[in-house]
Structure 1
Amino acid sequence: MNFDDYCQQKAAPPGSSSYYALRQAPAKSQPLLTALFALRREFEETVKELSDPAIGRTKLAWWQKELAALASGSPSHPVSQALAAYLPDVQAGYPALQALLAGFEMDLDQARYLDFPNLRRYVQSVGGTFASLVARASARDTAHSPEWSAPLGDALLLAQLVVETGNDARHGRIYIPIDEMQRYNVTAADLINRKYSDAFTELMRFETSRARDALIAARTAIPAAERRAQRTLLALTALALALLEEIERDGYHVLHQRIALTPVRKLWIAWRAK
Protein backbone atom coordinates (compact mmCIF):
# COMPACT_ATOMS: atom_id res chain seq x y z
CA MET A 1 0.00 0.00 0.00
CA ASN A 2 1.45 3.39 -0.98
CA PHE A 3 1.29 6.36 1.35
CA ASP A 4 -1.59 7.99 -0.52
CA ASP A 5 -3.79 4.92 -0.10
CA TYR A 6 -2.81 4.63 3.57
CA CYS A 7 -3.68 8.25 4.26
CA GLN A 8 -7.01 7.95 2.46
CA GLN A 9 -8.03 4.93 4.50
CA LYS A 10 -6.85 6.45 7.78
CA ALA A 11 -8.22 9.96 7.29
CA ALA A 12 -11.35 9.61 5.23
CA PRO A 13 -13.01 6.21 4.94
CA PRO A 14 -16.05 6.32 2.63
CA GLY A 15 -19.12 7.67 4.39
CA SER A 16 -17.22 9.71 6.96
CA SER A 17 -17.57 13.47 7.30
CA SER A 18 -13.90 13.86 6.43
CA TYR A 19 -14.45 11.92 3.22
CA TYR A 20 -17.10 14.33 1.96
CA ALA A 21 -15.32 17.43 3.25
CA LEU A 22 -12.04 16.52 1.56
CA ARG A 23 -13.81 15.94 -1.74
CA GLN A 24 -14.76 19.63 -1.74
CA ALA A 25 -11.14 20.78 -1.68
CA PRO A 26 -9.32 21.96 -4.80
CA ALA A 27 -7.81 18.91 -6.50
CA LYS A 28 -4.25 20.12 -6.07
CA SER A 29 -4.74 20.48 -2.30
CA GLN A 30 -6.43 17.14 -1.65
CA PRO A 31 -3.30 14.97 -1.19
CA LEU A 32 -1.80 17.31 1.41
CA LEU A 33 -5.12 17.79 3.20
CA THR A 34 -5.68 14.04 3.31
CA ALA A 35 -2.23 13.57 4.83
CA LEU A 36 -2.97 16.20 7.49
CA PHE A 37 -6.28 14.57 8.36
CA ALA A 38 -4.52 11.21 8.57
CA LEU A 39 -1.89 12.63 10.92
CA ARG A 40 -4.56 14.03 13.20
CA ARG A 41 -6.27 10.64 13.23
CA GLU A 42 -3.00 8.93 14.15
CA PHE A 43 -2.56 11.27 17.11
CA GLU A 44 -6.19 10.92 18.14
CA GLU A 45 -6.05 7.13 18.11
CA THR A 46 -2.87 7.20 20.15
CA VAL A 47 -4.34 9.15 23.07
CA LYS A 48 -8.04 8.24 22.91
CA GLU A 49 -8.19 4.61 21.84
CA LEU A 50 -5.48 3.12 24.05
CA SER A 51 -6.41 2.07 27.57
CA ASP A 52 -2.84 2.24 28.88
CA PRO A 53 -1.49 5.83 29.17
CA ALA A 54 2.07 4.50 29.28
CA ILE A 55 1.66 3.01 25.82
CA GLY A 56 0.16 6.27 24.62
CA ARG A 57 3.15 8.24 25.89
CA THR A 58 5.52 5.79 24.20
CA LYS A 59 3.70 6.16 20.90
CA LEU A 60 3.62 9.96 21.16
CA ALA A 61 7.34 9.96 21.90
CA TRP A 62 7.81 7.89 18.75
CA TRP A 63 5.77 10.43 16.79
CA GLN A 64 7.91 13.23 18.17
CA LYS A 65 10.96 11.50 16.72
CA GLU A 66 9.11 10.84 13.47
CA LEU A 67 8.24 14.52 13.08
CA ALA A 68 11.90 15.35 13.61
CA ALA A 69 12.75 12.77 10.95
CA LEU A 70 10.22 14.43 8.64
CA ALA A 71 11.90 17.79 9.21
CA SER A 72 15.31 16.29 8.48
CA GLY A 73 14.13 14.59 5.29
CA SER A 74 14.05 10.96 6.44
CA PRO A 75 10.46 10.03 7.43
CA SER A 76 9.50 6.36 7.78
CA HIS A 77 5.74 6.37 8.44
CA PRO A 78 3.35 6.51 5.46
CA VAL A 79 1.67 9.68 6.79
CA SER A 80 4.92 11.55 7.30
CA GLN A 81 6.13 10.33 3.91
CA ALA A 82 3.01 11.87 2.38
CA LEU A 83 3.64 15.11 4.24
CA ALA A 84 7.21 15.13 2.95
CA ALA A 85 5.89 14.73 -0.57
CA TYR A 86 3.19 17.41 -0.41
CA LEU A 87 4.15 20.04 2.15
CA PRO A 88 5.64 22.92 0.16
CA ASP A 89 7.95 23.83 3.06
CA VAL A 90 8.41 21.13 5.68
CA GLN A 91 10.60 23.32 7.86
CA ALA A 92 7.95 26.06 7.96
CA GLY A 93 5.22 23.59 8.86
CA TYR A 94 7.25 21.69 11.48
CA PRO A 95 6.42 23.96 14.48
CA ALA A 96 2.67 23.64 13.84
CA LEU A 97 2.94 19.86 13.55
CA GLN A 98 4.80 19.80 16.86
CA ALA A 99 2.15 22.02 18.43
CA LEU A 100 -0.60 19.67 17.25
CA LEU A 101 1.18 16.71 18.79
CA ALA A 102 1.65 18.62 22.05
CA GLY A 103 -2.06 19.41 22.08
CA PHE A 104 -3.01 15.76 21.89
CA GLU A 105 -0.45 14.98 24.59
CA MET A 106 -2.61 17.05 26.94
CA ASP A 107 -5.15 14.22 26.83
CA LEU A 108 -2.67 12.02 28.66
CA ASP A 109 -2.05 14.64 31.35
CA GLN A 110 -5.56 15.95 32.01
CA ALA A 111 -9.02 14.39 31.87
CA ARG A 112 -11.01 17.21 33.50
CA TYR A 113 -10.99 21.00 33.14
CA LEU A 114 -11.86 23.42 35.92
CA ASP A 115 -13.38 26.11 33.71
CA PHE A 116 -13.71 27.19 30.09
CA PRO A 117 -10.45 29.20 29.96
CA ASN A 118 -8.60 25.99 30.90
CA LEU A 119 -10.51 23.98 28.31
CA ARG A 120 -9.84 26.68 25.72
CA ARG A 121 -6.09 26.03 25.94
CA TYR A 122 -6.69 22.42 24.93
CA VAL A 123 -9.17 23.40 22.21
CA GLN A 124 -6.77 25.92 20.72
CA SER A 125 -3.85 23.47 20.80
CA VAL A 126 -5.77 20.73 19.01
CA GLY A 127 -8.62 22.37 17.09
CA GLY A 128 -7.14 25.74 16.23
CA THR A 129 -3.73 24.36 15.29
CA PHE A 130 -5.20 21.73 13.01
CA ALA A 131 -7.53 24.11 11.19
CA SER A 132 -4.63 26.50 10.66
CA LEU A 133 -2.66 23.71 9.01
CA VAL A 134 -5.64 22.84 6.83
CA ALA A 135 -6.26 26.45 5.84
CA ARG A 136 -2.61 27.05 5.03
CA ALA A 137 -2.63 24.17 2.54
CA SER A 138 -4.76 26.17 0.10
CA ALA A 139 -4.98 29.73 1.48
CA ARG A 140 -4.29 32.63 -0.84
CA ASP A 141 -2.84 34.63 2.06
CA THR A 142 -1.02 32.15 4.29
CA ALA A 143 0.44 34.88 6.51
CA HIS A 144 -2.98 35.93 7.79
CA SER A 145 -4.88 32.64 7.50
CA PRO A 146 -4.42 31.69 11.19
CA GLU A 147 -6.38 34.79 12.19
CA TRP A 148 -9.61 33.29 10.86
CA SER A 149 -8.84 29.57 10.64
CA ALA A 150 -7.77 29.04 14.26
CA PRO A 151 -11.12 30.26 15.71
CA LEU A 152 -12.92 28.03 13.23
CA GLY A 153 -10.85 25.05 14.35
CA ASP A 154 -11.69 25.86 17.97
CA ALA A 155 -15.39 25.92 17.11
CA LEU A 156 -15.22 22.64 15.19
CA LEU A 157 -13.61 20.94 18.16
CA LEU A 158 -16.20 22.35 20.56
CA ALA A 159 -18.90 20.82 18.35
CA GLN A 160 -17.04 17.51 18.27
CA LEU A 161 -16.84 17.46 22.07
CA VAL A 162 -20.63 17.83 22.23
CA VAL A 163 -21.07 14.91 19.85
CA GLU A 164 -18.59 12.72 21.73
CA THR A 165 -19.77 13.57 25.27
CA GLY A 166 -20.89 10.04 26.12
CA ASN A 167 -18.05 8.21 24.40
CA ASP A 168 -15.44 10.44 26.02
CA ALA A 169 -17.00 9.98 29.47
CA ARG A 170 -16.92 6.20 29.08
CA HIS A 171 -13.18 6.49 28.41
CA GLY A 172 -12.59 8.63 31.48
CA ARG A 173 -12.43 12.04 29.78
CA ILE A 174 -14.91 14.82 30.47
CA TYR A 175 -14.44 18.00 28.48
CA ILE A 176 -17.37 19.89 29.97
CA PRO A 177 -15.75 22.29 32.48
CA ILE A 178 -16.31 21.42 36.13
CA ASP A 179 -17.75 24.83 37.02
CA GLU A 180 -20.34 24.52 34.24
CA MET A 181 -21.39 21.06 35.41
CA GLN A 182 -21.74 22.42 38.94
CA ARG A 183 -23.81 25.34 37.67
CA TYR A 184 -26.32 22.91 36.15
CA ASN A 185 -26.05 20.35 38.97
CA VAL A 186 -24.71 17.57 36.76
CA THR A 187 -21.99 15.23 38.04
CA ALA A 188 -19.28 13.21 36.33
CA ALA A 189 -21.04 10.07 37.57
CA ASP A 190 -24.17 11.19 35.73
CA LEU A 191 -22.24 11.26 32.45
CA ILE A 192 -20.40 8.01 33.04
CA ASN A 193 -23.60 6.21 34.08
CA ARG A 194 -25.60 7.70 31.19
CA LYS A 195 -28.07 9.44 33.46
CA TYR A 196 -30.41 11.75 31.59
CA SER A 197 -32.25 14.50 33.43
CA ASP A 198 -33.69 17.96 32.93
CA ALA A 199 -30.45 19.35 34.38
CA PHE A 200 -28.39 17.42 31.82
CA THR A 201 -30.62 18.68 29.01
CA GLU A 202 -30.09 22.27 30.09
CA LEU A 203 -26.35 21.75 30.35
CA MET A 204 -26.16 20.28 26.87
CA ARG A 205 -28.35 23.04 25.49
CA PHE A 206 -25.77 25.51 26.78
CA GLU A 207 -22.79 23.53 25.41
CA THR A 208 -24.47 23.09 22.04
CA SER A 209 -25.42 26.76 21.76
CA ARG A 210 -21.86 27.84 22.52
CA ALA A 211 -20.45 25.54 19.86
CA ARG A 212 -23.03 26.68 17.30
CA ASP A 213 -22.45 30.37 17.99
CA ALA A 214 -18.69 29.86 17.67
CA LEU A 215 -19.12 28.01 14.36
CA ILE A 216 -21.33 30.69 12.85
CA ALA A 217 -19.07 33.54 13.99
CA ALA A 218 -15.93 31.81 12.70
CA ARG A 219 -17.53 30.93 9.36
CA THR A 220 -18.59 34.52 8.87
CA ALA A 221 -15.03 35.70 9.52
CA ILE A 222 -13.52 33.74 6.60
CA PRO A 223 -12.49 36.36 4.00
CA ALA A 224 -14.48 36.31 0.78
CA ALA A 225 -11.27 35.85 -1.21
CA GLU A 226 -10.50 32.63 0.70
CA ARG A 227 -13.88 30.92 0.69
CA ARG A 228 -13.57 29.03 -2.58
CA ALA A 229 -10.21 27.56 -1.57
CA GLN A 230 -11.49 26.66 1.91
CA ARG A 231 -14.36 24.42 0.85
CA THR A 232 -13.11 21.64 3.13
CA LEU A 233 -13.35 23.77 6.26
CA LEU A 234 -16.68 25.19 5.11
CA ALA A 235 -18.01 21.68 4.54
CA LEU A 236 -16.87 20.58 7.99
CA THR A 237 -18.59 23.61 9.47
CA ALA A 238 -21.86 22.90 7.67
CA LEU A 239 -21.72 19.26 8.73
CA ALA A 240 -21.03 20.21 12.35
CA LEU A 241 -23.95 22.66 12.40
CA ALA A 242 -26.29 20.05 10.93
CA LEU A 243 -25.15 17.49 13.48
CA LEU A 244 -25.71 19.87 16.39
CA GLU A 245 -29.21 20.47 15.05
CA GLU A 246 -29.77 16.71 14.91
CA ILE A 247 -28.58 16.35 18.50
CA GLU A 248 -31.01 19.04 19.60
CA ARG A 249 -33.84 17.37 17.72
CA ASP A 250 -33.01 14.07 19.45
CA GLY A 251 -33.17 15.70 22.89
CA TYR A 252 -29.41 15.67 23.57
CA HIS A 253 -29.32 11.88 24.00
CA VAL A 254 -25.57 11.71 23.48
CA LEU A 255 -24.61 9.64 26.52
CA HIS A 256 -25.57 6.19 25.22
CA GLN A 257 -25.07 6.72 21.48
CA ARG A 258 -23.14 8.67 18.90
CA ILE A 259 -25.68 10.59 16.87
CA ALA A 260 -24.65 10.81 13.21
CA LEU A 261 -25.83 12.02 9.83
CA THR A 262 -26.46 9.57 7.00
CA PRO A 263 -23.85 9.43 4.21
CA VAL A 264 -26.34 10.79 1.66
CA ARG A 265 -27.12 13.75 3.89
CA LYS A 266 -23.42 14.37 4.48
CA LEU A 267 -22.81 14.40 0.73
CA TRP A 268 -25.60 16.93 0.18
CA ILE A 269 -24.54 19.21 3.05
CA ALA A 270 -20.86 19.17 2.07
CA TRP A 271 -21.63 19.87 -1.58
CA ARG A 272 -23.84 22.84 -0.72
CA ALA A 273 -21.52 24.32 1.92
CA LYS A 274 -20.48 27.89 1.34
Structure 2
Amino acid sequence: MNANQYCQDKAAASGSSFYYSFLFLPEPRRQAITALYAFCREVDDVVDECADAAIARTKLAWWRAEIANLYAGKPQHPVTQALAPAVRSYGLNEEHFQEIIDGMEMDLDQNRYADFKALQLYCYRVASVVGLLSASIFGYSDRKTLKYAHDLGMAFQLTNIIRDIGEDARRDRIYLPQDELARFGVTEIDIIHGHETKTVRQLLEFQIDRARQFYDRAFAELPRIDRRAQRPGLMMAAIYRTLLDEIQADGCEKVLSRRISLTPLRKLWLAWKTWVFG
Protein backbone atom coordinates (compact mmCIF):
# COMPACT_ATOMS: atom_id res chain seq x y z
CA MET A 1 0.00 0.00 0.00
CA ASN A 2 1.42 3.39 -0.94
CA ALA A 3 1.31 6.47 1.27
CA ASN A 4 -1.62 8.15 -0.48
CA GLN A 5 -3.72 4.96 -0.32
CA TYR A 6 -2.98 4.68 3.40
CA CYS A 7 -4.33 8.21 3.93
CA GLN A 8 -7.32 7.55 1.67
CA ASP A 9 -8.25 4.46 3.69
CA LYS A 10 -7.82 6.36 6.95
CA ALA A 11 -10.13 9.15 5.79
CA ALA A 12 -12.76 6.84 4.31
CA ALA A 13 -12.89 4.62 7.40
CA SER A 14 -13.67 7.58 9.65
CA GLY A 15 -16.96 8.34 7.90
CA SER A 16 -16.30 12.02 8.58
CA SER A 17 -18.20 14.81 6.86
CA PHE A 18 -14.84 16.16 5.73
CA TYR A 19 -14.29 13.15 3.51
CA TYR A 20 -17.25 14.06 1.30
CA SER A 21 -15.90 17.51 0.52
CA PHE A 22 -12.57 16.05 -0.64
CA LEU A 23 -14.18 13.99 -3.42
CA PHE A 24 -14.71 16.99 -5.71
CA LEU A 25 -11.13 18.30 -5.65
CA PRO A 26 -8.52 17.78 -8.38
CA GLU A 27 -6.17 14.94 -7.50
CA PRO A 28 -3.13 16.86 -6.16
CA ARG A 29 -5.23 18.95 -3.77
CA ARG A 30 -7.40 15.95 -2.87
CA GLN A 31 -4.32 13.93 -1.93
CA ALA A 32 -2.92 16.84 0.08
CA ILE A 33 -6.09 17.50 2.10
CA THR A 34 -6.62 13.77 2.64
CA ALA A 35 -3.08 13.48 4.01
CA LEU A 36 -3.72 16.43 6.33
CA TYR A 37 -6.93 14.82 7.56
CA ALA A 38 -5.14 11.49 8.07
CA PHE A 39 -2.50 13.26 10.17
CA CYS A 40 -5.22 14.78 12.36
CA ARG A 41 -6.84 11.37 12.78
CA GLU A 42 -3.51 9.77 13.73
CA VAL A 43 -2.71 12.21 16.51
CA ASP A 44 -6.31 12.36 17.72
CA ASP A 45 -6.42 8.57 17.94
CA VAL A 46 -3.32 8.63 20.13
CA VAL A 47 -5.23 10.53 22.81
CA ASP A 48 -8.54 8.71 22.39
CA GLU A 49 -7.14 5.18 22.29
CA CYS A 50 -4.30 5.30 24.86
CA ALA A 51 -5.57 4.70 28.39
CA ASP A 52 -2.10 5.46 29.78
CA ALA A 53 -1.35 9.20 29.51
CA ALA A 54 2.40 8.56 29.67
CA ILE A 55 2.22 6.30 26.61
CA ALA A 56 0.09 8.87 24.80
CA ARG A 57 2.66 11.59 25.52
CA THR A 58 5.42 9.35 24.21
CA LYS A 59 3.49 8.74 21.00
CA LEU A 60 2.75 12.45 20.54
CA ALA A 61 6.45 13.17 21.09
CA TRP A 62 7.18 10.68 18.31
CA TRP A 63 4.82 12.59 16.03
CA ARG A 64 6.53 15.87 16.92
CA ALA A 65 9.83 14.34 15.85
CA GLU A 66 8.22 12.90 12.72
CA ILE A 67 6.97 16.36 11.69
CA ALA A 68 10.53 17.60 12.13
CA ASN A 69 11.64 14.70 9.92
CA LEU A 70 9.08 15.75 7.32
CA TYR A 71 10.51 19.25 7.12
CA ALA A 72 14.05 17.86 7.08
CA GLY A 73 13.10 15.81 4.03
CA LYS A 74 13.15 12.45 5.87
CA PRO A 75 9.53 11.42 6.52
CA GLN A 76 9.16 7.86 7.85
CA HIS A 77 5.40 7.39 8.30
CA PRO A 78 2.99 6.96 5.34
CA VAL A 79 1.09 10.07 6.44
CA THR A 80 4.13 12.31 6.48
CA GLN A 81 5.35 10.76 3.23
CA ALA A 82 2.00 11.72 1.69
CA LEU A 83 2.26 15.20 3.19
CA ALA A 84 5.71 15.88 1.74
CA PRO A 85 4.51 17.02 -1.73
CA ALA A 86 1.83 19.21 -0.11
CA VAL A 87 4.36 20.91 2.13
CA ARG A 88 6.40 21.82 -0.95
CA SER A 89 3.50 22.74 -3.23
CA TYR A 90 1.32 24.72 -0.82
CA GLY A 91 3.84 26.18 1.62
CA LEU A 92 2.40 24.48 4.71
CA ASN A 93 3.82 25.79 7.97
CA GLU A 94 5.62 23.34 10.28
CA GLU A 95 4.51 25.32 13.32
CA HIS A 96 0.87 24.64 12.45
CA PHE A 97 1.39 20.87 12.59
CA GLN A 98 3.10 21.23 15.96
CA GLU A 99 0.19 23.35 17.20
CA ILE A 100 -2.26 20.61 16.26
CA ILE A 101 -0.23 18.21 18.41
CA ASP A 102 -0.27 20.83 21.20
CA GLY A 103 -4.05 20.80 21.00
CA MET A 104 -4.28 17.03 21.21
CA GLU A 105 -1.93 17.07 24.19
CA MET A 106 -4.26 19.48 25.99
CA ASP A 107 -6.70 16.56 26.31
CA LEU A 108 -4.10 14.80 28.44
CA ASP A 109 -3.72 17.80 30.73
CA GLN A 110 -7.28 18.97 31.28
CA ASN A 111 -10.84 17.78 30.85
CA ARG A 112 -12.67 20.94 31.92
CA TYR A 113 -12.56 24.57 30.72
CA ALA A 114 -13.30 27.48 33.04
CA ASP A 115 -14.68 29.81 30.38
CA PHE A 116 -14.99 30.28 26.65
CA LYS A 117 -11.66 32.11 26.40
CA ALA A 118 -9.91 29.01 27.72
CA LEU A 119 -11.87 26.78 25.35
CA GLN A 120 -10.99 28.99 22.38
CA LEU A 121 -7.29 28.14 22.72
CA TYR A 122 -8.14 24.45 22.49
CA CYS A 123 -10.43 25.01 19.50
CA TYR A 124 -7.80 27.13 17.78
CA ARG A 125 -5.18 24.40 18.07
CA VAL A 126 -7.28 21.40 17.08
CA ALA A 127 -9.50 23.07 14.46
CA SER A 128 -8.67 26.63 13.42
CA VAL A 129 -5.08 25.68 12.64
CA VAL A 130 -6.41 22.84 10.49
CA GLY A 131 -8.55 25.44 8.74
CA LEU A 132 -5.51 27.57 8.01
CA LEU A 133 -3.62 24.61 6.53
CA SER A 134 -6.68 23.61 4.52
CA ALA A 135 -7.09 27.12 3.11
CA SER A 136 -3.51 26.95 1.85
CA ILE A 137 -4.16 23.62 0.16
CA PHE A 138 -7.39 24.83 -1.47
CA GLY A 139 -5.66 28.05 -2.58
CA TYR A 140 -6.34 31.72 -1.89
CA SER A 141 -5.44 35.14 -3.25
CA ASP A 142 -6.61 37.41 -0.43
CA ARG A 143 -5.12 36.99 3.05
CA LYS A 144 -8.54 37.80 4.53
CA THR A 145 -9.39 34.23 3.58
CA LEU A 146 -7.22 33.10 6.49
CA LYS A 147 -9.54 34.89 8.91
CA TYR A 148 -12.44 33.03 7.31
CA ALA A 149 -10.56 29.74 7.69
CA HIS A 150 -9.80 30.48 11.34
CA ASP A 151 -13.43 31.19 12.23
CA LEU A 152 -14.80 28.34 10.14
CA GLY A 153 -12.49 25.95 11.99
CA MET A 154 -13.81 27.36 15.27
CA ALA A 155 -17.39 26.79 14.09
CA PHE A 156 -16.61 23.19 13.13
CA GLN A 157 -15.07 22.43 16.51
CA LEU A 158 -17.96 23.99 18.42
CA THR A 159 -20.29 21.82 16.36
CA ASN A 160 -18.23 18.74 17.21
CA ILE A 161 -18.39 19.61 20.90
CA ILE A 162 -22.17 19.86 20.77
CA ARG A 163 -22.55 16.65 18.75
CA ASP A 164 -20.20 14.65 20.98
CA ILE A 165 -21.19 16.04 24.38
CA GLY A 166 -22.60 12.76 25.68
CA GLU A 167 -19.76 10.61 24.36
CA ASP A 168 -17.16 13.02 25.74
CA ALA A 169 -18.88 13.15 29.14
CA ARG A 170 -18.66 9.37 29.39
CA ARG A 171 -14.89 9.82 28.98
CA ASP A 172 -15.00 12.41 31.77
CA ARG A 173 -14.44 15.27 29.35
CA ILE A 174 -16.74 18.28 29.46
CA TYR A 175 -15.85 20.93 26.91
CA LEU A 176 -18.74 23.26 27.69
CA PRO A 177 -17.34 26.19 29.70
CA GLN A 178 -17.85 25.78 33.44
CA ASP A 179 -19.08 29.34 33.94
CA GLU A 180 -21.78 28.75 31.33
CA LEU A 181 -22.98 25.58 33.04
CA ALA A 182 -23.33 27.62 36.22
CA ARG A 183 -25.12 30.45 34.42
CA PHE A 184 -27.79 28.07 33.12
CA GLY A 185 -28.04 26.11 36.37
CA VAL A 186 -26.69 22.90 34.83
CA THR A 187 -24.45 20.60 36.85
CA GLU A 188 -21.75 18.21 35.67
CA ILE A 189 -23.99 15.38 36.93
CA ASP A 190 -26.68 16.56 34.50
CA ILE A 191 -24.21 16.26 31.63
CA ILE A 192 -22.56 12.99 32.69
CA HIS A 193 -25.83 11.20 33.44
CA GLY A 194 -27.71 12.68 30.47
CA HIS A 195 -30.45 14.52 32.33
CA GLU A 196 -32.74 15.87 29.60
CA THR A 197 -33.95 18.99 31.37
CA LYS A 198 -35.16 22.40 30.28
CA THR A 199 -31.99 24.05 31.59
CA VAL A 200 -29.80 21.61 29.65
CA ARG A 201 -31.77 22.41 26.52
CA GLN A 202 -31.32 26.14 27.07
CA LEU A 203 -27.59 25.67 27.62
CA LEU A 204 -27.23 23.69 24.40
CA GLU A 205 -29.35 26.15 22.41
CA PHE A 206 -26.93 28.83 23.58
CA GLN A 207 -23.99 26.72 22.34
CA ILE A 208 -25.71 26.13 18.98
CA ASP A 209 -26.37 29.84 18.57
CA ARG A 210 -22.70 30.65 19.19
CA ALA A 211 -21.56 28.05 16.66
CA ARG A 212 -23.91 29.57 14.09
CA GLN A 213 -22.48 33.01 14.79
CA PHE A 214 -19.02 31.69 13.93
CA TYR A 215 -20.35 30.23 10.67
CA ASP A 216 -21.99 33.55 9.79
CA ARG A 217 -18.83 35.47 10.67
CA ALA A 218 -16.67 33.16 8.56
CA PHE A 219 -18.96 33.45 5.53
CA ALA A 220 -18.94 37.24 5.81
CA GLU A 221 -15.13 37.25 5.92
CA LEU A 222 -14.56 35.09 2.83
CA PRO A 223 -13.48 37.35 -0.05
CA ARG A 224 -15.45 36.81 -3.26
CA ILE A 225 -12.23 36.22 -5.22
CA ASP A 226 -11.49 33.10 -3.14
CA ARG A 227 -14.99 31.72 -2.81
CA ARG A 228 -14.63 29.22 -5.66
CA ALA A 229 -11.29 27.88 -4.43
CA GLN A 230 -12.60 27.54 -0.89
CA ARG A 231 -15.73 25.58 -1.84
CA PRO A 232 -14.59 22.45 0.05
CA GLY A 233 -14.84 24.39 3.31
CA LEU A 234 -18.26 25.67 2.32
CA MET A 235 -19.31 22.11 1.56
CA MET A 236 -18.25 21.00 5.02
CA ALA A 237 -20.08 23.98 6.48
CA ALA A 238 -23.30 22.99 4.67
CA ILE A 239 -23.09 19.52 6.22
CA TYR A 240 -22.20 20.75 9.70
CA ARG A 241 -24.84 23.48 9.78
CA THR A 242 -27.45 20.96 8.70
CA LEU A 243 -26.28 18.74 11.56
CA LEU A 244 -26.81 21.62 13.99
CA ASP A 245 -30.33 22.04 12.63
CA GLU A 246 -30.99 18.34 13.19
CA ILE A 247 -29.68 18.48 16.75
CA GLN A 248 -31.89 21.45 17.57
CA ALA A 249 -34.92 19.91 15.89
CA ASP A 250 -34.39 16.76 17.94
CA GLY A 251 -34.59 18.78 21.15
CA CYS A 252 -30.87 19.51 21.72
CA GLU A 253 -30.65 17.51 24.93
CA LYS A 254 -30.93 14.20 23.01
CA VAL A 255 -27.20 14.50 22.20
CA LEU A 256 -26.52 13.60 25.82
CA SER A 257 -27.65 10.03 25.24
CA ARG A 258 -27.12 9.36 21.54
CA ARG A 259 -25.02 10.54 18.62
CA ILE A 260 -26.98 12.45 16.02
CA SER A 261 -25.60 12.26 12.50
CA LEU A 262 -26.54 12.66 8.85
CA THR A 263 -26.66 9.72 6.46
CA PRO A 264 -23.79 9.35 3.97
CA LEU A 265 -26.21 9.98 1.10
CA ARG A 266 -27.42 13.23 2.66
CA LYS A 267 -23.85 14.38 3.24
CA LEU A 268 -22.98 13.64 -0.36
CA TRP A 269 -26.06 15.51 -1.57
CA LEU A 270 -25.23 18.58 0.52
CA ALA A 271 -21.61 18.49 -0.66
CA TRP A 272 -22.62 18.17 -4.32
CA LYS A 273 -25.23 20.93 -4.07
CA THR A 274 -22.71 23.32 -2.54
CA TRP A 275 -20.07 22.42 -5.15
CA VAL A 276 -22.48 23.13 -7.99
CA PHE A 277 -24.39 26.11 -6.64
CA GLY A 278 -21.83 27.53 -4.20
1:141 deviates by 2.4
Instruction: Return 5+ residue gaps in structure 1 as ranges.
Output: none
Task: Tell me the secondary structure at the aligned position of residue 251 of structure 1.
Answer: coil
Distance 1:30 1:245, change over 3 A: same
Equivalent residue, structure 1, for 2:60: 60
Q: Give yes or no for contact 1:32–1:137 (8 Å, CA) kept in 2.
A: yes
Give the fraction of aligned pairs with identical amino acids, expressed as a percent.
Answer: 41
Cα RMSD between the aligned structures? 1.7
Alignment of 1:110-259 (within 5 A): 110-141=110-141, 143-252=143-252, 253-259=254-260
Matched, 1:37 2:37: yes
Equivalent residue, structure 2, for 1:28: 28
**Cα deviations by residue, 1:198-218 (Å, 9 ceiling, x for unpaired):** 111111110111111211221
Equivalent residue, structure 1, for 2:273: 272
1:219 deviates by 2.0
**Cα deviations by residue, 1:102-145 (Å, 9 ceiling, x for unpaired):** 12111111110000111111111111100000011122327554
Q: Give yes or no for contact 2:47–2:107 (8 Å, CA) kept in 1.
A: yes
Q: Give yes or no for contact 1:84–1:90 (8 Å, CA) kept in 2.
A: no
Counterpart residue type for residue 137 of structure 2:
A
**Cα deviations by residue, 1:125-175 (Å, 9 ceiling, x for unpaired):** 111100000011122327554222111111111111111111111111111
Distance 1:7 1:173, change over 3 A: same
Q: Give yes or no for contact 2:144–2:221 (8 Å, CA) kept in 1.
A: no
Q: Give yes or no for contact 2:86–2:137 (8 Å, CA) kept in 1.
A: no
1:91 deviates by 7.4
Q: Distance in 1 between matches of 2:157 and 2:89?
A: 26
Equivalent residue, structure 2, for 1:263: 264
Q: Give yes or no for contact 2:90–2:136 (8 Å, CA) kept in 1.
A: no
Instruction: Return 5+ residue gaps in structure 2 as ranges.
Output: none
TM-score by length of 1: 0.95
